[in-house]
Amino acid sequence: MEQWRPLGRLWRFNQRVSRWRAARAIKEALRIAYPFVLVMTAIDVIGQSFLASNGFFFQIYHVGDWLPGLELWQQLIQVASTVINGVVAVIIAFTTGRYLAKTYRGDGQAIGVMSALAFLTLNVNYDALEQVNRTTGEGMSKFMEPNLGPQGIFLGIVVGLCVGWFATHLMQWLTRWQLKHPRYQLSWTGRVAWPLTVVLIVTIGIGYGLSWLTAGGLNGLVYQGLSELVANPGHRGFVILGVTVLNNLLWWLGLIGPVSLAGNSAVTSLQNLAYAVQHGSGWGAPNPVTLHTLGDAYANFGGAGMTLALLIAIWIGSRQVSYRRIANQTFLPNLVNLNEPTLLGLPLLYNPILLIPFIEAPAVNVVVAWSAITLKLVPPIVYPVPSTTPGPLIAYVGTGGDWRALALSLVCLGISVLVYLPFVRLLNDQGGANHGA
């Protein structure tokens, strides 16, 4: 196939990367986690957009008025969501460690379990331990639960890779040592127990050391730093653009959600709302250019990276059966801005080819929206928008029904599809059995 040269180079780079052991392990780990995440997200779609009182569909269809036993439904959904959503990062740590061990012909299951345990030791709530000593141990959770969910995926992968590599080599070294010293016979139990002990000593040491630094574990440390870096970019368009790029890069790495559609309650958004309420519209609002009015409104369709556009690009241009299947399966979650299954399923995380449009599409949209608002072609969004609002409707709803904003949203969606399309076509050439759904 005739290719534009930079794309050809990118393609060769992708081929080289995908031969790396770590890259294969990550891809495999994500592939195994995908069905679990898909089910979890399906539950979240129902829970967050249809049953939660601040959900988009809950509000537009007035679900609270006609659904009997609403509270019961909410609780049942919450149970299901807690179970799967709550431990997805543990699953990833297990699968990464297991697959990496298998590539070294090590004991996959044992090392997978080791990785999961190592990941858990890094997320123990040390505050709760003190609590247990002092009182009856009630109250606080023993784990930092948020870190075990989607936002722990990055750490899960890192721990899986480290433990997978380290423990496999330790086990193999033990085997070799045993061959040299036949006098000391070590059973299978011993060959698992000793590396496990070493791994746990190391990770508990790290975890305990970190507990002096931060209350949120290793994950907390990363998130704390990043949130402070990106949370409040102010009014300057370039800074907002930079934050959007950085944020999407972090998502690509599996650091999910330092910045999310939470701008409704920011001070600037409240000032805008106050202005709109008093003047009838968002024209002339005090803060027309913020991360909320640009990023949340025009560069977040489907979630980070405009993944809704990616799905449309796949429908238009992909010949990969697995891609088309995943696009169909994850369309509904993307419609309400829950794109984790798309990121894990394709997989988009750690995919060098899709990284470029994943960052480029939102960045282009921020620039387009910034220009349109600065040139006063559209008013900024001023009314609070439920986070599960379908992407192309966010600006329309947020401006109180401005048609120009809706048109701009559709333009942004179109641009993003065009940005994704060449890269999706490039991936058509990727063959083999190492992906699928």
Partner 1 sequence: MGHKWWHWVLGVVVILAVFVPSTAWMRQRTTHYRTQYKTALNPTIMVPGSSASQNRFDALIKELRKETKVRHSVLKVQVETNGHVTYTGSIRQGDNHPFIVIAFDNNQDGVTNINKQAKWLNIAFKDLVKTYHFNHFSAMGHSNGGLILSLFLEKYFGETQHVSIDRLMTIATPYNMESDSTTQQTTMLKELIAGRQKLPKKLTVYSVAGTENYSSDGTVPANSVNQGKYVFQNQVAHYTQITVTGDETSHSDLPQNKQIVLLIRQYLLQENLPADQRQQNQQAKRRALNGEATQP
Residue numbers at the binding site for partner 1 (CB under 8 A): 56, 59-61, 270, 273-274, 276-278, 280, 383, 389-390, 393, 396-397, 400-401
Residue with tokens 């001070």: 267
Which residue, 352 or 400, has its beta carbon nearer to partner 1? 400
- The whole-angstrom separation of Cα 84 and Cα 272 is 38
- The whole-angstrom separation of Cα 390 and Cα 382 is 17
Which residue, 104 or 315, has its beta carbon nearer to partner 1? 315
Burial category of 6 from C-beta neighbours within 10 Å (exposed 0-12, middle 13-18, buried 19 and up): exposed
Q: Who contacts 433 (Cβ-Cβ below 8 Å, separation ≥6)?
A: none
Closest contact distance (angstroms) between CB of 273 and partner 1 is 7
Name the token pair of 11: 């393609």
Contacts 24+ apart (CB under 8 A), 2-7: 3/426, 4/422, 7/422, 7/426
Closest contact distance (angstroms) between CB of 309 and partner 1 is 16
Which residue, 93 or 405, has its beta carbon nearer to partner 1? 405
Which residue, 205 or 401, has its beta carbon nearer to partner 1? 401
Q: Please answer whether residues 325 and 437 qualify as being in contact, where contact means their C-beta atoms are separated by less than 8 angstroms.
A: yes
Q: Is the peptide bond before 288 cis (omega within 30 degrees of 0)?
A: no
Which residue, 83 or 274, has its beta carbon nearer to partner 1? 274
Closest contact distance (angstroms) between CB of 396 and partner 1 is 8
- The whole-angstrom separation of Cα 39 and Cα 325 is 15
Closest contact distance (angstroms) between CB of 423 and partner 1 is 25
Name the token pair of 394: 């966010």
Which residue, 295 or 390, has its beta carbon nearer to partner 1? 390
Closest contact distance (angstroms) between CB of 38 and partner 1 is 21
DSSP at 143: B
Closest contact distance (angstroms) between CB of 399 and partner 1 is 9
Closest contact distance (angstroms) between CB of 278 and partner 1 is 7
Which residue, 56 or 154, has its beta carbon nearer to partner 1? 56
- The whole-angstrom separation of Cα 98 and Cα 110 is 8
Which residue, 244 or 272, has its beta carbon nearer to partner 1? 272
Closest contact distance (angstroms) between CB of 303 and partner 1 is 18
Measured in whole angstroms, the distance separating CA 332 from the mean position of its chain's CA atoms is 17
DSSP string, 315-378: HHH---HHHHHHHHHTHHHHHTT--HHHHHHTT-TT-HHHHHHHHHHHHHHHHHHHHHHHTTSS
